[in-house]
Chain A
Amino acid sequence: MRNIIKNINIKADRTLILSKLNNNRAYVLLVFIMILMSICAPNFLGTGNIVPMIKTALLPIMAGIGFTYVMIGGNFDLSIGAVINVGAAVAMGEFNRFFAAFGGEAAGTKAVVLGWIVAILIALAAGVLVGLINGLLVAKGRIHSFIVTIGMMTALTGFVYTYCKGNTISADNTLFVNILERPFIKVPYLEVFTIRFLVTVIIVIFFEVLLLKAKWGRDLLMVGSNEEAAWHAGINTQRKIIWTFIFSGFTSAFGGVMFAISMNAAVPNYGERGINPLMIVLASTIIGGTELTGGRGSVVHTTVAVLTIQAIFNGLIIMGMGFDAQVLAAGVLLAVVVLYESYSLYKQNLKKGAKAALLKEVPELKARRKSAC
């Protein structure tokens, strides 16, 4: 009974519902797109589509974690696409080098395991280093993050081409490649559970908890919302900003590493042809409700938004549409979300400061005006 009364009260407040919906719009949009696509695209909900769809989303999900953090801090990290390539190329290249150094095929599994451990650590360290440099330049150097990270993107692209010598790098041993991508159980839908999937989920959960449940995250949200206030409150704002960039470098590089291993290939120009992961991540972060100016956001919401965009892409492919239609659809969704944001902001500002007591008089005023006319 109490619940019913509560519900009626909520129903009375339309704006409250709307704002709740908007705060969880990532879920709303995902459900909407899933329903739409399952109607329009045959076999959209089949395991043959859902499993590959989620697997494709794993890379932008990883990069989206760090990107969301950076945006919550009030900055942008446009270098994530390049960091993904660095992570991928360095992991593959260093594996081949250390695999040989540890004895190659002759040494058996031991060389494979040691080789991957060292290679992955180096690749992740590279991502962290890139993030640290970005963070230092933005926080300490006071250079706009757009400039810093675009510069970083260009430099890293050059680095990867040099590192790969323009070629695709594949691992000389494919043992681990198979393990990372092997499903635990071969049952429809549950095939999605692979080591790579689980690692991604764990990292998403870790960063979501850090952001929303831990004191560290609350402080970061405060920094993003009002840096000055956070500074006066004794929060080390520069360090917080640097950490967001380090996390971004780390998650992007990690995503790149896992992507390369699962494909058994690292190319220097992934994302230059086709859809750039940066574009997907940027759109997802905004669609997921992270505020452009910082101070509000959620890693899980970004993840859900990545899945939404991936669902659009896959649905359109099933319907026989090409790359052009995919980009257009993602762009339209982003535009709708941004337009809604600005519209609600406009609405909010219009009423900002209005006195409740005076608003009660408005119907009477309107009635009086009508009778006068």
Chain B
Amino acid sequence: MSVEGQKVDVMLSMKGITKRFPGTLAVCNVDFDVRAGEVHALMGENGAGKSTLMKILAGSFNDYEGEIFIEGKPVKLHTPSAAKAAGVGMMYQELSIAYNRSVQENLFAGAIPGKGVFVDKRQLREKAIQSLARVKLDKTIDPETEMKNINQHECQLIELAKVLNSDPKILVMDEPTSALSNEEVQMLFDIINDIKKKGIAIVYISHHLQEVFQVADRITVLRDGRKIATRNCCDVTKEELVEMMVGQKVKEFYKPKVSHAGEKILEVKNLTRYGFIHDVSFELYKGEILGVVGLAGSGRTELGRCLAGADKVDYGEIILNNEKIKIGNIDKMLEKGIAYLTENRKLEGLALRLTNRQNILSTIIPRLSTAGFYFPRKGNSTIKELYEELNIYPNNPEVETSNLSGGNQQKVLLAKWLITKPKVLILDEPTRGVDVGAKKKIHETIVKLAKEGVAVLLLSSDLPELVALSDRVIVLRRGHVIGELNEELDENKLLLAANG
């Protein structure tokens, strides 16, 4: 890949990489290279093979085909320690943190400095402070703090610091921004720029087009395990990129919206959970999509959880259909018609080892039961409708949910709540970490629901999503509602309002 007249230092080069899983070809004959000091974005829908390719690089498999060169030397990455020794540093999407150990022990797990066989406490502390300085946390965090007392976005930066400790030549970041607010993303990008200057090659996996254009130098797109193209970031447009990823021409990413708002269905007055949300009040109308914008830590998710009865509410009123209702547990709220799609599908949303049918029907077991006996067959026709509506792949409700791609899992999660026929549907990050195709389908479904008269409360950190779907947006900042936007929504406006 050397450009004429320019000396290009290729740090990593993967040639003809193939990896089979029972029944599927996850990665097929892929060439991929990264230069020293560049950010190379790896893009593709869920299931395109990005994660598998990176797992190969991390040494998770000992049976891949193809050759890997680091600094021109051939290497065999058959174990994580071999990969680490070769200079590969992985920053994982799911954080690998030991929560009941201290920050410093996490930072130097497996490489604790010592005198002989003993731990050198002083050196450990000093090295931890240096390490935190690399991610600009040395002033705010004491290295002896237990990890469970650290904020989520700081956890992510500590994870990065941990990877940097091993002085990697190649740094892989898998969706590093999925849990971050915009402010924190900018902080992360500043740190990435610092790292780049040190000549580290960075592989950046993300679904966020905007972020990729902001941070990456080159982009490689994978689809169905094959490489589609590698392009310089400045030579490619968003539309081209989406087309390469999806494989078909997407003319309009978002549907133009028409408000379907009808009569008032929900009124929330002074909803308060001490320390999370204070005096939150708003109204919601039938057929309306009400967006909630707020940075991480603004109380967005907490608002959803309190409304759904998942968290204890200290005081406040919820008036549904002009009737004041008692704020009870999740099952009581669900009976009244308030459904809440949780933020994290793997932790809170789905039982991955159950089948899709079991997952979808789990919310309506009482409805399908007669005299204490459960008749899941009664749900068959509804499941079929939902499958058609959401286009869930594979088209078989008996498949274990863990076998689905992230996008299809998210559709199953949505189906699970749609089947309750809610009057008010609270969606918390309905498309986080989901591929473009699934995202489009989910958006269409949300719009259709609103058309049918369901009131939707959309909690999202995805600004284009909020702009495209919401009729109105309320702005949360540090646990308070600080305003409402209802005309000519655009991303800048939202961002400014949320940042204040």
Chain A residues within 8 Å of B84, by CB: 234
A225 touches B101 (CB 8 A): yes
Which segment, of A2-10, A321-329, A350-358, faces chain B?
A: A350-358
- Number of A interface residues at 8 Å Cβ cutoff, please give it: 34
Query: A20 to B386, alpha carbons, bound, how many Å?
Result: 54
Question: Given that A218-B112, A357-B478 are contacting pairs, would A295 and B272 also be in contact in the complex, using a CB cutoff of 8 Å?
Answer: no
What is the 8 Å Cβ interface bit string for chain B, positions 59-90, against chain A (1 contact, 0 not)? 00000000000000000000011001000001
User: Closest residue of chain A to B151, judged by CB?
Assistant: A353
User: Closest residue of chain A to B107, judged by CB?
Assistant: A233
Query: A364 to B3, alpha carbons, bound, how many Å?
Result: 65
Which segment, of B91-99, B234-242, B372-380, B411-419, faces chain A?
A: B91-99
Chain A residues within 8 Å of B478, by CB: 355, 357-358
From B114, B118, B272, residue with most partner A Cβ within 10 Å: B118
> Any chain B CB within 8 A of the CB of A129?
no
Give B295 Cβ to nearest chain A Cβ, in Å: 12
Query: A351 to B98, alpha carbons, bound, how many Å?
Result: 20
Which segment, of B275-283, B351-359, B444-452, B456-464, faces chain A?
A: B275-283
Question: Given that A222-B98, A225-B99 are contacting pairs, would A215 and B276 also be in contact in the complex, using a CB cutoff of 8 Å?
Answer: no
B96 touches A214 (CB 8 A): no
The 5 A-B pairs with the shortest beta carbon distances in the complex, nearest first, are A354-B275, A225-B98, A233-B110, A233-B109, A226-B98
B117 touches A350 (CB 8 A): no
A232 touches B96 (CB 8 A): yes
Chain A residues within 8 Å of B255, by CB: none
Chain B residues within 8 Å of A216, by CB: 117
B119 touches A358 (CB 8 A): no
A-B contact pairs, 5 of them (CB 8 A): A215-B114, A219-B109, A229-B96, A295-B98, A355-B275
> Any chain A CB within 8 A of the CB of B111?
yes
Our pick among A291, A352, A358 for the contact of B274 (Cβ within 8 Å) is A358
Chain B residues within 8 Å of A146, by CB: none
> Any chain B CB within 8 A of the CB of A361?
yes
Question: Given that A221-B105, A225-B100 are contacting pairs, would A214 and B110 also be in contact in the complex, using a CB cutoff of 8 Å?
Answer: no
B275 touches A234 (CB 8 A): no
- Number of B interface residues at 8 Å Cβ cutoff, please give it: 36
Question: Given that A213-B118, A229-B97, A229-B106 are contacting pairs, would A355 and B479 also be in contact in the complex, using a CB cutoff of 8 Å?
Answer: yes
Chain B residues within 8 Å of A105, by CB: none
> Any chain B CB within 8 A of the CB of A369?
yes
Main SS of the interface on chain A?
helix
Give A230 Cβ to nearest chain B Cβ, in Å: 6
A296 touches B100 (CB 8 A): yes
Chain B residues within 8 Å of A359, by CB: 274-275
Chain A residues within 8 Å of B315, by CB: 369
What is the 8 Å Cβ interface bit string for chain B, positions 245-280, against chain A (1 contact, 0 not)? 000000000000000000000000000101110110
From A218, A231, A362, residue with most partner B Cβ within 10 Å: A218
Give A152 Cβ to nearest chain B Cβ, in Å: 28
Chain B residues within 8 Å of A229, by CB: 96-98, 106, 109
Our pick among A221, A350, A353, A361 for the contact of B101 (Cβ within 8 Å) is A221
A365 touches B274 (CB 8 A): yes
Give B14 Cβ to nearest chain A Cβ, in Å: 20
> Any chain A CB within 8 A of the CB of B312?
yes
- 7 other contacts beyond A219-B109, A296-B100, A355-B276, with CB at 8 A cut-off? A214-B114, A216-B117, A222-B109, A232-B80, A232-B96, A352-B148, A355-B297
Chain A residues within 8 Å of B100, by CB: 225, 291, 295-296
Our pick among A214, A232, A365 for the contact of B118 (Cβ within 8 Å) is A214
Chain B residues within 8 Å of A362, by CB: 274-275
Give B30 Cβ to nearest chain A Cβ, in Å: 23
What is the 8 Å Cβ interface bit string for chain A, positions 188-206, against chain B (1 contact, 0 not)? 0000000000000000000
Our pick among A219, A221, A234 for the contact of B80 (Cβ within 8 Å) is A234
Give A201 Cβ to nearest chain B Cβ, in Å: 20
User: Closest residue of chain B to A225, judged by CB?
Assistant: B98
Chain B residues within 8 Å of A233, by CB: 109-111, 162
What is the 8 Å Cβ interface bit string for chain B, positions 106-148, against chain A (1 contact, 0 not)? 1001111010011100000000000000000000000000001
Give B149 Cβ to nearest chain A Cβ, in Å: 9
Within 8 A of A (CB), among B442-485: 478-479
B274 touches A215 (CB 8 A): no
Our pick among B92, B112, B278 for the contact of A358 (Cβ within 8 Å) is B278
Chain A residues within 8 Å of B97, by CB: 226, 229
Chain A residues within 8 Å of B110, by CB: 219, 222, 230, 233-235
Question: Given that A221-B105, A229-B97 are contacting pairs, would A365 and B272 also be in contact in the complex, using a CB cutoff of 8 Å?
Answer: yes
User: Closest residue of chain B to A219, judged by CB?
Assistant: B110
Query: A369 to B80, alpha carbons, bound, how many Å?
Result: 57
A222 touches B274 (CB 8 A): no
Query: A235 to B274, alpha carbons, bound, how many Å?
Result: 41
